[in-house]
Amino acid sequence: MSRLSKFCGALTLAAFLLFQGGQMNAQDSTAAQGGGGPAAATPAAGAGGGGDVAKGKELFENNCKTCHNANAEALVGPGLAGVRQRTPGDAWLQKWIRNSSALIATGDAYAVKIFNQYNKTQMTSFTNFSDGDIKSILDYIDSESAPKQAALPGTVAPAGGGPTTAAASSGPSELFTFVLVALLVVMLLVLGVLLVIVTILSKAVTPQTGDALVGTQTAPLVQRLRNGLVGAVNNSTIRSVAIWLFLFVATKMSIDGLYSIGIQQGYAPKQPIAYSHKLHAGQYKIDCNYCHVGVNKGKSATIPSANICMNCHGVIKKESPEIQKIYAAIEQNKPIEWIRVHNLPDLAYFNHAQHVNVGNVQCQTCHGEIQKMEVVEQRSSLTMGWCIDCHRKTEVNTKDNAYYDKLVALHRKETKEPLKVANIGGLECSKCHY
């Protein structure tokens, strides 16, 4: 027993020393960062100029990325690196991007050449793009294809910004210390449980001593355990506690079962076509809005039509058995019978456009990390309580929006807490129920 206590004490001392060592390493690393490093290299400006590179990136990723890469690698269409240099110029590109079909119809030699080179694939027209939008996209493409400034010697470029010294990071040391301390704590808990078990077993197997038992034979261990169990069953107090505990557990399970009726959390049906969100939204980063076109416009996000699939698969992986199912559906003029995963009861009203456009709610908030799902699964419960809890916690973005000025002024007279969705009618029954 004393050896076990000494061992536990040694483990506690080791955990304390490791924790102190981790703190000292973290302080040393912080001090190393205080010297100030070289400034991060600024991104290369667009060759054409006159555009907003950040805006161009957003426009490119939302509209162009499905068919084009900003580098030289071809996708559905050609890679766009150096597009300004190999085409007739910005004026020509503006005509091509806005309406490539009209430009081809004029007999423009370069337009016809590109059209034929890529199997006469029809490019989407972007008539809503302004001259500034197109310049921004082209400047973004130039900035992506321009050579990046090399990091200075002795520095390591982090993923999100400028270079920093290799010795500055304290993350691995802190993580290593945390893992060691956690393991030591678990070992201490296990040893404590073992100590209790050893003590109980020692008392059970040790023969009873005393004046009353002198000269008597000790009963076998099994017999003593049986006698103890019979005594516990015959004890009215223990019986009552067991019965009430059973009734409590049974009642709790019944209520939980009633509340779970109609909830399909974890539902992941097999679809008629093995479509992978992990591949399309994850690996290829296709924006959700490209396929679910109604998410910004109406109540339903809508299921993509076969025509949207064929924008890419008219060229890519045409021989795939799963893609052939899309061809068969088009040839037979029959819709693909996708199985709905997320389904609200008819008495509940939910509008995608209101949440996505006004509330800036991301798809992952309700649907989970859809970009990591091979098979789509309902991750959230989608119950009334789940929605109400979100309305109570979510703050309304009132910045630079005059619509909320009076509401914010009235709200601040009552409390200093931020304006939540619940404060602007988010808990009213008629908001969600017809």
Query: Are the beta carbons of 391 and 427 closer than 8 angstroms?
Result: yes
Residue closest to 273 by CA, chosen among 317, 222, 226, 211? 317
Q: What is the pLDDT of residues 63-91, one digit of tens each?
A: 888 788 888 887 777 888 888 888 888 88
Residues 166-170, mean pLDDT to the nearest whole number: 38
Q: What is the pLDDT of residues 259-315, one digit of tens each?
A: 888 888 999 999 999 999 999 999 999 999 999 999 998 999 999 999 899 999 999
Q: Can you state the angle between helices 171-205 and 221-234, rounded to 10 degrees? A: 100
Cα(158)–Cα(162) distance, integer angstroms:
7
3-class secondary-structure state, position 155:
strand
Residue type, 379: R
> Is the alpha carbon torsion for 402, 407, 410, 415 positive or negative?
negative
Query: Are the beta carbons of 5 and 199 closer than 8 angstroms?
Result: no
Cα(106)–Cα(100) distance, integer angstroms:
10
Q: What is the pLDDT of residues 347-397, one digit of tens each?
A: 999 999 999 988 889 999 999 999 999 999 999 999 999 999 999 999 999
- E strand intervals along 1-160: 155-156
Q: Tell me, what's the pLDDT at 374?
A: 95
